[in-house]
Structure 1
Amino acid sequence: MLRHVASRQFVFTLVLAIAAAMPAIANETHPNLDAAAILDQQRQIRVEVEQRSGRYKDMPSAERTTLLREQDKVFTLLRDRSAITDLPEADRIVVFNSLESISAIVNRAPEEKLVCERTRKIGSNRTETVCMTASERRARREADAKALGDRNAACLKSNSDCI
């Protein structure tokens, strides 16, 4: 599972790096980075969601509301942009996370939604982008809670001051 996350994170980082390194003379933008293509796709989805037609006719209202809210973020951030790479990195991550949320709702696969965030490693001022699926985040939370519980139990058993 970690290999899968590492490969998805690597691909995401590679796409962002390639996009940033593209020469200005290139006239074509990759479809995954082209703001107009993304906005067109989201508009098509929105029309079907609002009309409650096609694959969206039986969508629960909570999912519909979430999808529309995530689309609003994408529309706001990509308005007047030609490519995702025109955005600051923090906004690129917001767009990426919103598109992943929309994809998870549309494909009915919430556990496969990839969520990225900028974090600082302990003891460092450098930030890094960490991406994990919802199921991987849940598994990590559970493992951390278990480790903490095991540590607390060991401290109580040994009757020592564990810091």
Structure 2
Amino acid sequence: MYRIGSIVLLLALLGSVEAQGKPSKDPVQMGGAKPVSEQIREVELAMSSDEYSELTLQDKSTVKASLSQIQSEIGDHERVDQLPPQKQVAIFNEQEKVNTILTRSHADSRVVCRREKTVGSNFPNNVCMTVAQRRDALEAARKNMRDANRSQLIPMD
């Protein structure tokens, strides 16, 4: 009985530690029932977090421009549904821009770890990179292989 209790306690502790260490699974999205000012605050906080580490400078400026456009359109109102339809459409378009950028960046910022063997060693190591870093490394390797193959195909005079 003591053994079963300690196993259950260990599993409960592991579950709580795992839940604390994991980033949120869903990206921050604009829209819904929350007041617009609260949504803007959430987006600004999220952009500075590690969950959006692959957010480029251009994307950050686009999001900030969209947020300022939303703030100017919303004016003194708290929610989008309090505005005339034309302004609602303009805000919706800006929100979609923000949501698209944040969703892509959230997916690219996800860290993936793999156990890989280093050349010349039998010991595997954990190699952790974001999805975007892995994609960039793969593209760089492909480019290097293409360039190496092209240099071998140069005709000799």
Shorter chain as denominator, the TM-score bin is: 0.3 to 0.5
TM-score by length of 1: 0.41
TM-score by length of 2: 0.42
